[in-house]
């Protein structure tokens, strides 16, 4: 099976703080993988480093459909077929989603872009958001919906969905999971990043990876998520002999 994404020994740091400490991951085309991990373990950092955000110093290799993308600019990676759905979608005041859609069409609008816009607008009920400024004043769930909408427009080779389920009510989680499942194709590999196994109840991830402290410490099938659900990340840390990191919130007076 051809790999959509191959990550080898990926390291990333900000200043003196090393966040990713050697990540290895392979996602074949046609598969959906999940990445789980506690707060601060480096999941969003991984998606930003894949996308090429310049806040980080990074090393290692990332192959997108066999092609090295480390060293490329953010927009080049996007045009080569990488899509990141943001955990915190950025507000762009004064620019309507419509304007962005038009620009996306110019940048990566392959095939019949216009009819894809029409179909996705209808399917996701995006009509009422098109004239509004990007992400401004949108509810958490609406922002995630807008990210899924843009994903549908660009038809990437690899989609990294960073907490696409956070802030969603139960119906919306089911809907998003359904969208991810229905987007499965021979031309796409998906990485779904999540804290909770909730969204995984509505989809069939081919593999589940767990990241702790900037490394993938466990990979497996459905049972990995079930185990986490039962025992939590602390038990996994203990089992692996990792130093437990106390939740700083617990230390508050």
Partner 1 sequence: MTPLTSSTLLRVPGESDESLETRQHALAKLADFAMPTGREEVWRYVDLDFDLEDFEVAVAAESIDERPPVPDSAGFALVVDGSVVAAESSDPNLTVGRATDRFESLIDPGQDIFTAAQAAHGAERVDVVVADGKAIESPIFIDVSASSEGASFPAVRIRVGKGSEATVALRLRSADDLPALVVPHVEGSLGDNSNLTVVVDQGWGRATRSIGQIVFSVGRDASLKTAEAGLGGALARWQLDIKLAGQGSNAKVVGAYFGDEEQILDYRYVMHHAAPNTHSEMFLKGAVEDEAGSVFTGMIRIDEIAQKTDAFQTNRNLILSDGASAQSVPNLEILANDVKCGHGSTVGQLDPEQRYYLMSRGLDRPSADRLQVRGFFEEALSRFPVPAIVEPLRGRFNEKFLRAQEEGRL
Under the criterion CB under 6 A, does residue 194 sit at the interface with ligand ATP?
A: no
Contacts to partner 1 from residues 123-152, by CB under 8 A: 133, 150
8 Å CB contact between 138 and 146: yes
Angle between helices 97-108 and 140-154 (to 10 degrees): 20
E-assigned strand segments in 1-135 = 3-14, 17-28, 32-36, 57-64, 67-68, 82-85, 92-96, 133-134
Under the criterion CB under 5 A, does residue 44 sit at the interface with Mg ion?
A: yes
Closest CA to 105 of 115, 96, 93: 115
- Of the two residues 147 and 227, which places its CB atom closer to partner 1 in the complex? 147
* Residues touching ligand ATP, count (CB under 6 A): 14
Q: Which of 1, 17, 66, 94 forms a contact with partner 1 (CB under 8 A)? A: 94
Under the criterion CB under 8 A, does residue 93 sit at the interface with partner 1?
A: yes
Under the criterion CB under 5 A, does residue 87 sit at the interface with Mg ion?
A: yes
Q: Which residue is nearest to Mg ion (CB)?
A: 44
Closest CA to 42 of 65, 72, 10, 83: 10
Among ligand ATP, partner 1, Mg ion, none, residue 40 binds (CB under 5-8 Å by kind):
ligand ATP
Neighbour-count burial of 49, counting CB atoms closer than 10 A to its CB (0-12 exposed, 13-18 middle, 19+ buried): buried
DSSP category for residue 90: P
Under the criterion CB under 6 A, does residue 145 sit at the interface with ligand ATP?
A: no
Tell me how far, at minimum, the Cβ of 90 lies from partner 1, in Å. Answer: 4
Neighbour-count burial of 233, counting CB atoms closer than 10 A to its CB (0-12 exposed, 13-18 middle, 19+ buried): buried
Classify 28 as helix, strand or coil: strand
* Residues touching Mg ion, count (CB under 5 A): 3
Tell me how far, at minimum, the Cβ of 115 lies from ligand ATP, in Å. Answer: 35
Under the criterion CB under 5 A, does residue 47 sit at the interface with Mg ion?
A: no
Contacts to partner 1 from residues 65-84, by CB under 8 A: 73-75, 78-79, 83-84
Q: Which residues contact partner 1 by CB under 8 A? A: 51, 53, 73-75, 78-79, 83-84, 86, 89-95, 99-100, 103-104, 106-108, 133, 150, 154
Site residues, Mg ion (CB under 5 A) = 43-44, 87
């Amino acid at each position: 099976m051809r790999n959509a994404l191959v990550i080898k020994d990926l390291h990333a740091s900000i200043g003196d703080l090393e966040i990713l400490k050697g990540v290895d991951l392979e996602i074949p085309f046609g598969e959906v993988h999940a990445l789980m991990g506690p707060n601060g373990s480096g999941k969003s950092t991984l998606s930003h480093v894949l996308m090429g955000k310049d806040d980080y110093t990074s090393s290692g290799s990332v192959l997108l459909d066999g092609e090295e993308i480390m060293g490329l600019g953010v927009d080049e990676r996007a045009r080569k077929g990488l899509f990141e759905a943001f955990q915190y979608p950025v507000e762009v005041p004064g620019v309507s989603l419509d304007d962005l859609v038009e620009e996306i069409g110019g940048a990566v609008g392959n095939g019949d872009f216009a009819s894809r816009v029409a179909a996705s607008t209808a399917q996701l009920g995006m009509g009422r958001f098109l004239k509004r400024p990007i992400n401004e004043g949108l509810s958490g769930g609406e922002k995630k919906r807008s990210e899924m909408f843009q994903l549908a427009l660009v038809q990437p080779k690899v989609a990294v969905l960073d907490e696409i389920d956070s802030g969603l009510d139960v119906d919306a989680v089911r809907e998003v999971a359904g969208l991810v499942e229905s987007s499965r194709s021979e031309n796409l590999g998906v990485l779904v990043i999540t804290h909770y196994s909730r969204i995984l109840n509505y989809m069939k991830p081919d593999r589940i990876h767990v990241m702790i402290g900037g490394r993938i410490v466990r990979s497996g099938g459905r049972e990995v998520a079930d185990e986490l659900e039962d025992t939590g990340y602390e038990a996994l840390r203990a089992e692996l002999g990792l130093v437990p990191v106390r939740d700083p919130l617990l230390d508050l007076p």
